[in-house]
Structure 1
Amino acid sequence: MMKSDDRIPEIALDWLQAGRKVALATVIRTWGSSPRPVGAQLVIDGDMAFEGSVSGGCVESAVIFEAADAMADGTCRRLSFGVSDETAFEVGLACGGEIEVLVEPLDLGQGPTRPELEALVAARAAREPVVWEVDLTNWTRRLLPRDTADGELEERFRTDRSALDGDVFRAVHNPPLRLVVVGAVHIAQPLVSMARMAGYDVVLSDPRDSFAAPARFPGETFLDGWPDEALEAYGLDQRTAVVTLSHDPKIDTPALEKALASEAFYIGALGSTRTHAKRVAALTEAGLPADAIARIDGPVGLDIGAVSPAEIAISIMAEMTERLRRPDTRKGG
């Protein structure tokens, strides 16, 4: 389930369909310090109700009032805000800086049409990575699907970074992050909680009833079947991380084979250096190429001297975050 801040296009469409006037505000450029990245959005209705965030404080208030004017006259707006270090906290810029915000009335005047917004929401619902492109000179818009032959577009999806190029703004809409935890062991308990706090949708896979007990993981979702079958049915994509924790090769190895055949951005496996060496040998014997096996982070987690289950979960989340936000650190071919 996406957080409300990540559901701004969906909320905007819901409000439109309910007959409300709606405007979208999007951060299109930042300089210096800014608490919200390029691509962050705020949705506002005709009564000045809003969801999401583009900054905070006075910047937020000014954007909301500009959105009201945009809904009244149907014109888009580019707003720039500059803040000194001394007054930065008053307007939500942590250490001073500048932001530029695009305000668009929806299904009105220069703004995007309802069918355009519906197409974006449909792509997001289908977990299709797309780029929402806006030409700021003539207010035309395109929805660009993923094309692996387009190196520039692939780099956008890989780094998850929206950007303003000249007078063309390209907003990356990647699918929500997901984590599959294989092995419902004690480390999985803090890991599931931490991953959720970091914005991941989490599922678990463990064929052992005594481990996959609701009392141990209240309210959590378990995939049916053995992990290899479960991962195949679930579907792994470039926004999915897989962590195997069972320490049982009968469970972990088939799951790793499925993960390595996918575009999962992070594949971590619990176990000592010696255990991982045996794992690599087993996968090699199963016919997997060396560059594929090299994608596994094993032993899992950053080497921070973690001892307790919670500390090990922290090390896993740290490594997973690095692989996500710094794609150049991802292992293997």
Structure 2
Amino acid sequence: MTETNSLKLALDWHRAGRKTALATVVETWGSAPRPTGSLLVIDGDGAMEGSVSGGCVEGAVIVEALEALADGKPRLLDYGVSDDEAFAVGLACGGRIRVLIEPVGSAMPLEMLEQLVAATDAKAPIAYIIDLESTARRTADTDEFTTRFRSDKSGIEDDGRTFVGIHNPPLRMIIVGAVHIAQHLVPMAHACGYTPYILDPRGAFGSEARFPNELILDDWPDDALAALKPDARTAVVTLTHDPKLDDPAIIATFGSDAFYLGCLGSTRTHAKRVLRLQDAGFSDAEIARIHAPVGLNIGGKSPAEIAVSIMAQITDVLRRK
């Protein structure tokens, strides 16, 4: 269960009259089973969904959550995960985790949970900020915690008491051109947490046989992009080598908040692309958004190697740039 789903479930349970608590991993050391920001939802009967440790300490967290639900007060817990327990959930060695338990409606104000769920439903980034030494709770947008939003990194600030829980919209990758490179890039996108969309009006390319069980759109790329509305969690990659398909997709991306735009083609091909875009009236700043030739320069030659370089560059731009 994703953290977004955990928030929605906690709200649903509370609205259904079930006493509900949220347990959040606020800090980790060593080889902790679950990252900071992981959520576990517990109700008054001990039912649970989600995970804070992969099974190592869930039982103890549930006991503490039931006590928190009884008195309405939060709990900040510190657990060690032994090497044997870590090995049981697939880790090489143990570590430590801190878990905050918040009963919904008391320690965690209901309106705060509703705000978090509304933001995630609207695919808007939002941070949940908790003062671990008081009852203070608030939310924030990307202007305040830009680096954390960019890296998807929840955690405690340098003051040692302020926990920032990052809730980002899902990552998407829009691939224009159902070509051989795309057949390798799509599974990499899935593995890295993206939902890929394949755009190609050419039926022979964008077929179910070539991309089984994938999201394939046969609209012209500019129409498809207008419907998909690329946001700041979207990467766009054009792979067709055909200006009739790539250029409309590029122009549509210029008008979006997509964090990455990469285009296949040699240096010479890109130079011609730049001239076409300049002639169409686009500025140097807009054209500079294009990563071309697409991908990190790792010397890749085969379609699979080029796909690796593209995925690496997208990751680099998302996490570091």
TM-score by length of 1: 0.84
Structure 1 SS opposite 2:215? coil
Partner residue in 1 for 2:114: 118
Partners of 1:212 and 1:87 in 2: CA distance: 46
1:211-226 alignment to 2 at 5 Å? 211-223=205-217, 225-226=219-220
Q: CA deviation at 1:129?
A: 1.3
Change (3 A) 1:55 1:318: farther
> Do residues 133 (structure 1) and 125 (structure 2) align?
no
Partner residue in 2 for 1:71: 69
| 2:146 aligned residue (154, 158, 165) | 154
Partner residue in 1 for 2:281: 287
Question: What code does the residue aligned with 2:280 have?
Answer: A
Q: CA deviation at 1:142?
A: 2.0
- After superposition, the CA RMSD in angstroms is 2.7
1:7-156 alignment to 2 at 5 Å? 7-82=5-80, 89=87, 94-107=92-105, 109-113=106-110, 115-146=111-142, 150=143, 152-156=144-148
> Do residues 187 (structure 1) and 158 (structure 2) align?
no
Contact 2:206 2:218 in 1 (8 A): no
Aligned residues: 319
Contact 1:23 1:104 in 2 (8 A): yes
Q: CA deviation at 1:41?
A: 1.5
Partner residue in 2 for 1:199: 193
Q: CA deviation at 1:243?
A: 0.8
Contact 2:34 2:54 in 1 (8 A): no
User: Structure 2, unaligned stretches of length 5 or more?
Assistant: none
Change (3 A) 1:189 1:51: farther
Contact 1:59 1:91 in 2 (8 A): no
Partner residue in 2 for 1:253: 247
Partners of 2:317 and 2:214 in 1: CA distance: 25
What does the per-residue CA deviation read over 1:161-198, in whole Å, with 9 as the maximum and x for residues that have no partner? 22323433221211111111111122222322331232
Question: What code does the residue aligned with 1:302 have?
Answer: L
Question: What code does the residue aligned with 1:112 have?
Answer: P
Structure 2 SS opposite 1:241? strand
Partner residue in 1 for 2:235: 241
Structure 2 SS opposite 1:24? strand
Partners of 1:35 and 1:323 in 2: CA distance: 27
Partners of 2:309 and 2:298 in 1: CA distance: 7
Contact 1:180 1:240 in 2 (8 A): yes
Change (3 A) 1:194 1:51: farther
Q: CA deviation at 1:90?
A: 6.0
TM-score by length of 2: 0.87
| 1:163 aligned residue (155, 165, 168) | 155
Partners of 1:202 and 1:160 in 2: CA distance: 19
Contact 2:33 2:89 in 1 (8 A): no
Contact 2:150 2:319 in 1 (8 A): no
Contact 1:5 1:53 in 2 (8 A): no
What does the per-residue CA deviation read over 1:286-316, in whole Å, with 9 as the maximum and x for residues that have no partner? 3333333233222222334434433332332
Change (3 A) 1:234 1:86: closer
User: Structure 1, unaligned stretches of length 5 or more?
Assistant: 329-333
Change (3 A) 1:112 1:234: same
Question: What code does the residue aligned with 1:285 have?
Answer: D
Partners of 2:173 and 2:268 in 1: CA distance: 26
What does the per-residue CA deviation read over 1:44-85, in whole Å, with 9 as the maximum and x for residues that have no partner? 233433332223343333323322322232211111234577
Change (3 A) 1:227 1:283: same
Contact 1:59 1:92 in 2 (8 A): no
Question: What code does the residue aligned with 2:130 have?
Answer: V
Question: What code does the residue aligned with 2:13 have?
Answer: W
Q: CA deviation at 1:35?
A: 4.1
Q: Greater shift after overlay, 86-95 or 267-276?
A: 86-95
Change (3 A) 1:140 1:78: same
Contact 1:104 1:112 in 2 (8 A): no
Structure 2 SS opposite 1:7? helix
Partners of 1:233 and 1:308 in 2: CA distance: 32
Contact 1:181 1:205 in 2 (8 A): yes
